[in-house]
Amino acid sequence: MGKESSSSGRYDLVINDALIVNATGRLRGSIGVRDGAISALSREGLRGELEIDARGRPVIPGVVDAHCHFRIAQGRGPDAVVSSDDYVIGPRSAAFGGVTTFIDFAIQQRGSAARDEVESRIEEASAGSIIDFGFHCSLTDPRPAVLDEIEPLMERGIASFKFFMAYAKWGFYVDLGFLHAAMARIAARGGVVAVHAEDDEILEFWRDQKAREAPSDMLNHSLSRPELAEEVAIRSAIALAKETGATLYVVHLSTSRGLRAIIEGRNGGAAVIAETCPHYLAFSHEVYRQPDGRYYTMTPPLRADGNRQALWDGVRDGRIDVVGSDHNSFTRAQKDRATGFLDVPPGLAGTETLLPYMLSDGVAAGLITLERVVELLCTNPARIYRLTRKGSIELGKDADLVLLDLDEERAVTDASVVDRGTCNAPVGRGRFVPRYGTRARTEPLATVRP
């Protein structure tokens, strides 16, 4: 604080009398922005072309949503369903929720170069997005030749690779041998290895079993994907990470036993980062018994009660590093076409409600501090994925800033959000996560185009 850039003159934008909140603490002062970067932090008021009086309200760094899917096809062939939010609507929806950077996934199509998907996704996001973005690359074609793509992709700027330990039927799954070899190559270059950790053999057995028993029972979406499948996959991935020295990033952690496996892995010397999502914190699988249970379907599924609480403990005490949205949006009509747990497209909207949810159920509920929210949603994902200009309010960083109004309550409804995701109640009576955003409103102030 008290620091100011040497160049004189007015700023493009100033935010005066703000409570400036970083992961490390908070200070009252003003922020001066020039050319899209934070160029002054001062205890005194500043002058600029555009002046905003925050009146003591918090300003936090823009959220980096480390887990987003826009325009993704779920399923295969004629059964595939394309998600509802593309690279225009998705990033707009993110910005309305205080997200100023999203990281999406370029998922290789088997038989094609991963690089092709990376380039076409970058092109599509560049054309559509109003906010900054990055891409993880998913390698889905477990042939040795595909490993040779890793180094060029990292030179292109891909810092992280994601592998599916499930979804053989959708053509995403890679075996442990390929994963081992890929991890070694990625670790050698200091990249991050992300895994969708569900053991496919366990899933396939129970999926067939539950399909025979009761295909229309939506609770079987959860029971056909047992918690054990997550634990087994995490333990396998940790063994490979220890062997190769790779940094392992477990996406969308959903179970208490998975968290326990991660802690044991860390204690055994593995570098393991844990990410969870708001829906695993908000709900148990009891919602699948509701008539609108199909609106709550995503993978991994919601879990038995007890898991939520364990994940909240991890979010609170730092054993969980990141909360990402896993935004993967389907409209009500798309979900309604399902006849049972087997054919409902899995995924929820969420990037727009990620921060409001953490402010509502986390901060307003007294479970975590605003600093911790900044750490989980901004600072940690920026550090892990090497977005060096993001994640904190400091001189020289991008002026990705979110002004919060913690007093305003607002129901989240179909009409109140930008995304086209499913709601779990009639319009006007609350959305798929009724508590999302009920106590907090966010206003994105400044974003920088890629």
Please, which residues have CB within 8 angstroms of residue 145's CB and are 6 or more apart in sequence? Answer: none
Minimum distance from residue 66 beta carbon to Zn ion (Å): 10
Q: Alpha carbon of 90 to those of 3, 65, 72, 85, 108: distances in Å? A: 36, 12, 11, 5, 21
Judged by CB, which is closer to Zn ion: 198, or 326?
326
Is the CB of residue 252 less than 8 Å from the CB of residue 67?
A: yes
From 267-275, 277-285, 301-309, 318-326, span contacting Zn ion (CB under 5 A): 318-326
Could you say whether residue 275 binds Zn ion (CB under 5 A)? no
Is the CB of residue 342 less than 8 Å from the CB of residue 207?
A: yes
Dihedral sign, Cα of residue 63, residue 64, residue 66, residue 67: positive
CA dihedral 26, 27, 29, 32 (to 10 degrees): -50
Could you say whether residue 230 binds Zn ion (CB under 5 A)? no
Minimum distance from residue 252 beta carbon to Zn ion (Å): 6
Judged by CB, which is closer to Zn ion: 292, or 326?
326
From 77-85, 128-136, 320-328, 384-392, span contacting Zn ion (CB under 5 A): 320-328
From 8-16, 94-102, 204-212, 326-334, span contacting Zn ion (CB under 5 A): 326-334
And the tokens for 330? 């389907």
Judged by CB, which is closer to Zn ion: 85, or 414?
85
Minimum distance from residue 251 beta carbon to Zn ion (Å): 6
Judged by CB, which is closer to Zn ion: 58, or 350?
350
Place of tokens 């100011």: 4
And the tokens for 282? 């908000």
Minimum distance from residue 310 beta carbon to Zn ion (Å): 21
Neighbours of 315 (CB within 10 A): 23
Minimum distance from residue 381 beta carbon to Zn ion (Å): 14
From 41-49, 53-61, 321-329, 372-380, span contacting Zn ion (CB under 5 A): 321-329
Site residue total, Zn ion (CB under 5 A) = 1
And the tokens for 93? 């929806």
And the tokens for 172? 């995403």
Q: Which of 227, 326, 361, 419 binds Zn ion (CB under 5 A)?
A: 326
Residue nearest to Zn ion (CB): 326
Helix, coil or strand: residue 1: coil
Q: Which residues bind Zn ion (CB under 5 A)?
A: 326
